[in-house]
Amino acid sequence: MTSRCGYVAIIGRPNVGKSTLLNRILGQKLAITSHKAQTTRHAILGIKTSDKGQLLFVDTPGIHERGASALNRYLNRAARAALADVDVVLLVLEALRFTREDELALKAAADSGAAVVVAVNKVDRIADKQALLPYLQALGARHDFAEIVPVSAKRGSQLDVLEDVLLARLPEAEPMFPADQLTDRSERFFAAELLREQLMRRYAQELPYRTTVEIERFEDEGGRYLIHALIWVERESQKAIIIGHGGDALKAAATNARLGMQELFGCPVHLEVWVKVKQSWSSDEAALASLGYGDV
């Protein structure tokens, strides 16, 4: 059987289900998720190997209109940079919706020059599937898509069809990575992401967007990981909210993050977390670079 291998950039507006889709295809949680937009801040490589070939997925931050801060500009640049030199663009849309940010994502996909496959997500929410037909017809008129595949990332439906469609668009090539490799990101990176996921999920409104996580220490102590993490915020008042009364809020977030790390790493984890203030870090290009948001 001919083997295929190539890169697939996953693109779409914030909160459309890109990371959930990637996790479901991989069969393991790799990208953090929450109900808040812009949870994904970094392009993440997810590797899916089968007997038909190897799909190299690049999960990207959501394309969005909010561009006031340096962080927002970075997220849009990161999403668009991921489209360079990929074999296929997977545009994720939400069934029966097409917003201005969806239009921005479609334009970025079209401008890449690569074949564009659409995953119309969240079809499980639609009771009458006949309602999809006019939407799909209107969508098909917007661009010469390679394929349009209705899916449910949450339920896992039609993902095998989507994988076959994507593989068929990849060049004939041998796998680039070992069959058991899931990503090229380090465990240190995922430790920071799992703690940030708790901040995105637990704190209301704008606070999660004013926080980031830096791993200061990551050591393997003979089968147990020792991890020291810093949560950076922009104001003292935000620090107080993160910590909570008697430290309870921070303790709960750290406990859930530690359990997630143990599940992903497959070993015991000792996690210690501190909260520090770096004023206006999300609006400062130099501060962003020092916290791992490099140039793209």
Which domains are assigned to the chain? 4-168 (3.40.50.300), 187-290 (3.30.300.20)
pLDDT at residue 210 in the model: 83
Residues of the chain above pLDDT 90, percent: 69
CA gap 256, 272 in Å, rounded? 12
pLDDT at residue 125 in the model: 93
pLDDT band at 164 (very low <50, low <70, confident <90, very high): very high
* Cβ(124)–Cβ(153) below 8 Å: no
pLDDT digits (tens, 9 = 90+) for 67-86: 557 777 777 777 777 888 89
pLDDT at residue 282 in the model: 79
Q: Which of 249-253, 258-262, 282-286 has the lowest mean pLDDT?
A: 282-286
CA gap 58, 83 in Å, rounded? 9
Q: Where are the beta strands (DSSP E) in the chain?
A: 4-11, 44-50, 53-59, 88-94, 115-121, 147-150, 212-220, 225-233, 269-277
Q: What is the mean pLDDT of the chain?
A: 90
Confidence (pTM) = 0.86
CB atoms within 10 A of CB 68: 9
Residue 41 reports pLDDT greater than 80: no
Residue 156 reports pLDDT greater than 90: yes
Q: Which of 27-31, 55-59, 211-215 has the lowest mean pLDDT?
A: 27-31
Could you please report the per-residue DSSP string of 156-223? TBTHHHHHHHHHHTSPB---SS-TT---SS-HHHHHHHHHHHHHHHHS-TTGGGG-EEEEEEEEE-SS
Q: Which of 47-61, 112-126, 176-190, 274-288 has the lowest mean pLDDT?
A: 274-288
* Cβ(92)–Cβ(11) below 8 Å: yes
The two most distant CA atoms of the chain are separated, in Å, by 61
Length of the chain: 296
Residue 296 reports pLDDT greater than 60: no
pLDDT at residue 61 in the model: 75
pLDDT at residue 247 in the model: 94
pLDDT at residue 65 in the model: 67
pLDDT digits (tens, 9 = 90+) for 118-137: 999 999 999 888 889 999 99
Residues of the chain above pLDDT 70, percent: 95
pLDDT band at 277 (very low <50, low <70, confident <90, very high): very high
SS3 243: helix
pLDDT at residue 295 in the model: 55
pLDDT at residue 42 in the model: 78
What average pLDDT does range 278-282 have in this prediction? Answer: 84
What average pLDDT does range 285-295 have in this prediction? Answer: 73
- Who's near 160: CB < 8 A, 6+ residues apart? none
SS3 125: helix
If one compares 68 and 160, the residue with the highest pLDDT of the two is: 160
pLDDT at residue 76 in the model: 73
